[in-house]
Amino acid sequence: MRVYNFSAGPSMLPEDVLLQVQKEMLDYDNSGMSVTEMSHRSKYFTAIVTEAEQGLRDLMNIGDDYYVLFVQGGASMQFEAVPLNLLGKNAKADYIVSGNFANKAYEEAKKYGDIRCVASSKESKYTYIPKPAKSDFTKDAAYLHITSNNTIYGTRYVKFPETDLPIVADMSSEILSRVVDVNKFSVIYAGAQKNIAPAGVTIVIAKKSLVDVDYTLPYCPTMLKWSTQAEKGSMYNTPPCFSIYVAMLVFRYLKKLGGVPAMEEINEYKAKLLYDCLDESKFFRSSVAVEDRSIMNVTFVTPSAELDAQFVAEAAKNGLVTLKGHKSVGGIRASIYNAMPVEGIKKLVGFMQKFESENK
């Protein structure tokens, strides 16, 4: 029996896509083999990569002035790749530390240059998005790094910072969940395992002008150079073929549903159901600043850690699984990415109301 899986990542995939994968598992497109068995240089796989790239370009309205790269190593590898690719001319960068992953990105970058934390919400346990003014940024920094959605804490930038600096954004836990003007960013990166595909592939969308001028640090590993992947069409070495294939199917599926605007509308609706339930409750509490609430990761607590654990355990018995908060913060977290159906949210809300009435 399928469950409603609220895992923060790897997370749910659309059932239609999984069924398609199952159908094609032994024989992809009359090749007589599975995508997991074929050469990445085959005509079948070349067509897959081409469609995947075009699919993402269509969904996010990515212009010809950007590269779309499929790389490996997760978002965490991009914590290194970002400074290694961008600090070669001017080794200064600004970071906004809005959560655990943002802090990791900041800590990694510090190895490579003069890196400044412009604003942080660490002292308040990352319950809000810091909002520095335009004048707070370093005038000649090579870039500003932000984490657009904070997966562990459940906050997001509703509005992105006002700055003339090139913005680099980690969008791992919200890519394709809402309409974003790509032109406002110089680089966007995201691991696939939250909103796109199985773990393995990482998306990098990078302004061609920034990659082509080659601001890489001299010791940047070839594998981490965006220009290497750009020149080779993401095929410098063997790519994560299966993950790219599923990404292609997810892009196809999202287009059929009406693209990112349609997803955004559904996601807003799903998040509202959950936040309305929290706001009406005297039992459940969310400690996130209301104006910064994420529509992908919804965090909350009951009156005690014991009841949190009981909630998570009883929910699982009702087919609502992986609701435990991240180990660093505890509590409860419902990750409600694109693939989580509205029915899953409704079932969770019903369960929350029942749990409250039985335990208050």
Sites of contact with ligand PLP (CB under 6 A): 9, 74-76, 101, 147, 151, 170, 172-173, 191, 194
Count the alpha carbons within 13 Å of 105 in the hemisphere toward its beta carbon: 32
- Distance separating alpha carbons of residues 210 and 85, to the nearest angstrom: 9
Q: Which is nearer to ligand PLP, 173 or 286 (CB)?
A: 173
How does strand 114-120 pair with strand 92-97?
parallel
Least distance from ligand PLP to the Cβ atom of residue 343, Å: 25
DSSP per residue, 196-265:
TSSTT-EEEEEEHHHHHTT---TT--GGG-HHHHHHTTT-SS---HHHHHHHHHHHHHHHHHTHHHHHHH
Least distance from ligand PLP to the Cβ atom of residue 147, Å: 5
Q: Which is nearer to ligand PLP, 173 or 177 (CB)?
A: 173
The secondary structure of residue 178, as a DSSP letter, is: S
Q: Which is nearer to ligand PLP, 81 or 312 (CB)?
A: 81
Residue at token pair 């599923």: 246
Q: Which is nearer to ligand PLP, 68 or 75 (CB)?
A: 75
Q: Which is nearer to ligand PLP, 82 or 307 (CB)?
A: 82
Number of other CB atoms surrounding residue 237 within 10 Å: 12
Helices 43-60 and 259-280 pack at an angle, to 10 degrees, of: 60
Least distance from ligand PLP to the Cβ atom of residue 23, Å: 28
143 in Cβ contact with 109 (< 8 Å) = no
Least distance from ligand PLP to the Cβ atom of residue 138, Å: 23
Least distance from ligand PLP to the Cβ atom of residue 194, Å: 6
The residue number with the shortest CB distance to ligand PLP is 74
